[in-house]
Amino acid sequence: MKNPLSLSQKLSFLAACFFTVVAPVIGYLTIGIAPVIIVGGSALIGLICWSLTYLKKPVEPRIILPLFILTVAGLQIHIVEEYLMGFAPAMSRLFDIPWSEKSFLMVFALIGPILYTLTSLGLYYKIPIAGFVAWFIFIGPGVAEFTHFIFPLITPDLLPHDPHPLTAAIAGTRIPDMPNFYFRTTRHYYFPGMWTAVLPMIPGCLAIYRLLIKNKPV
């Protein structure tokens, strides 16, 4: 007989469902369809995996916490490369979306580390919702970072054959110096974040393997 979910587990499930719906909607309204696919997809897959694993039985901190910390550490190094090489304006040119560097830094460099720190504390105390955040990070940076290797092959929505940086207003937001990384135009296979994309992917994918298949410490 299955044990019924506790009040904490039920509230955590409702909070995770709320995030899975609201975050992509906010991303769509403020930036465009790209966040719906990336954030929404990662959140939905993470929600399903978390519901089948950590929500029912929180994993011992010694199993999940080191891999989570390694994943977010790799992610922060990855974000440094993205910022230095112009990831947000490059995405703006690629998908015709108003993604400014200010919003990029606010979410990934300022708010993100606060969330990661609180999640680490939650994983230590086996708080259910912390497991959802961890799964979301494992699926996003853990798996979705492979998209950096696809972006150079996608035709940009804005002046794809012009190799020079572009400054334009998108949906009322002025985005300066949007670089073009389209491979057919630049003949250089690169997109901001590509060099360090594997750093969060390795511990993230290992965490998924352990939580779904092995589920035991080293």
Task: Confirm whether 36 is domain-assigned.
Answer: yes
pLDDT, tens digit, 9 for 90 and up, residues 169-184: 998 899 999 999 999 9
Helices vs. strands in the chain: H and E counts, helices first: 10, 2
Answer for the pair 211, 83: CB distance below 8 angstroms, yes or no: no
pLDDT, tens digit, 9 for 90 and up, residues 7-18: 889 999 999 999
E strand intervals along the chain? 166-170, 173-178
Q: Which domain holds residue 178?
A: 7-214
Banded pLDDT at 155 (limits 50, 70, 90):
very high
Task: Confirm whether 143 is domain-assigned.
Answer: yes
Task: Confirm whether 75 is domain-assigned.
Answer: yes
Q: Is the pLDDT score of 56 beyond 60? A: yes
Cα distance between residue 102 and residue 88, in whole Å: 9
Task: Confirm whether 50 is domain-assigned.
Answer: yes
Answer for the pair 41, 50: CB distance below 8 angstroms, yes or no: no
Q: Is the pLDDT score of 217 beyond 60? A: no
Q: Is the pLDDT score of 151 beyond 50? A: yes
For residue 65, give the amino acid letter: L
Task: Confirm whether 128 is domain-assigned.
Answer: yes
Task: Confirm whether 1 is domain-assigned.
Answer: no
Classify each residue of 57-83 as buried b or exposed e, where b means 16 or more C-beta atoms within 10 Å of its C-beta. ebbebebbbebbebbbebbbebbebbb
Q: Is the pLDDT score of 98 beyond 50? A: yes
Estimate to the nearest angstrom the gap between the alpha carbon of 52 and the chain centroid: 21
Answer for the pair 150, 84: CB distance below 8 angstroms, yes or no: no
Task: Confirm whether 2 is domain-assigned.
Answer: no
Banded pLDDT at 26 (limits 50, 70, 90):
confident
CB atoms closer than 10 angstroms to residue 29:
9
pLDDT, tens digit, 9 for 90 and up, residues 71-86: 999 999 999 999 999 9
Provide mean pLDDT across the span 53-64.
92
Banded pLDDT at 218 (limits 50, 70, 90):
very low
Structural domains counted in the chain = 1
Q: Is the pLDDT score of 216 beyond 50? A: no
pLDDT, tens digit, 9 for 90 and up, residues 32-49: 777 678 888 899 999 999
3-state class of 97 per DSSP? coil
Cα distance between residue 159 and residue 185, in whole Å: 10
pTM of the predicted structure, to 2 decimals: 0.91
Task: Confirm whether 107 is domain-assigned.
Answer: yes
